[in-house]
Amino acid sequence: METLETNRLILRQYTENDFAAVHSYANFRENLIYMLWGPNTENQTHEFIKREISKLHENPRKEYNFAIVLKDTESLIGGCGITIYNTCGELGWILHRDYWKQGYGTEMGAALLKLGFEGLNLRRIIATCDAENYGSYRVMEKIGMRREGLFIEARPANKLSNKKYGDELAYAILKSEWET
């Protein structure tokens, strides 16, 4: 489970050599406007990578986080993962702005669902995003997740935003729904 592959992507573990690519999206304003974190300092990006590498030795693992890499160029274009809570999982991701609207999010999301349902035997997977984050909620819809709720002022807005709070969308899919 260290690596997942799709038609155009390799989802692999982070390495110390990923700093420049990770930092390029982790401190880029347009990438972070809807995120609950960021922008990262260089030290925060180094700490993130170090933490991800150390998680590989946890047993049992509660998080599976991956660097998203293009197969054809080996360029790291984002990160994604699934966090486990009992028999449920929660998806999360970020793609560098230069790779939006090219279907990479849908490919990555479908691979995470397959990992969750087939590899980790989860029964339910959820994902949330800022209600204004059209790209993220479209990925959720394209991979078969259904909208379960809109929560008003439910999340703190990123410090790059002009708002104090953001509305949150919640999506989910059951294993039985994914199998049909």
Partners of 160 in beta bridges: none
Tokens in use for 80?
């994604």
For the chain, residues with pLDDT lower than 50 are: none
Distance CA(113)–CA(105), nearest Å, equals 12
What are the tens digits of pLDDT across the range 123-139?
999 999 999 999 999 99
**Does 26 fall in a domain?**
yes
Asked whether residue 90 is domain-assigned, the answer is yes
Tell whether 22 is covered by a domain: yes
Q: What is the pTM of this model?
A: 0.93
Is position 141 within any domain? no
CATH number, position 48: 3.40.630.30
Full residue range of the structural domain in which residue 23 is found: 3-126
DSSP 180: -
The number of distinct structural domains making up the chain is 1
Domain membership flag for residue 18: yes
Residue 11 falls inside a structural domain = yes
- Residue 1: what pLDDT? 55
pLDDT number for residue 162: 79
For the chain, the residue count is 180
Domain assignment present for residue 84? The answer is: yes
pLDDT of residue 31: 81
CA distance 174 to 180: 10
In a domain, 144, yes or no: no
Contacts of 162 (CB under 8 A, 6+ apart): none
Tell me how far apart the alpha carbons of residues 124 and 82 are, in angstroms, rounded to a whole number. Answer: 12
Count of other CB atoms within 10 angstroms of residue 140: 24
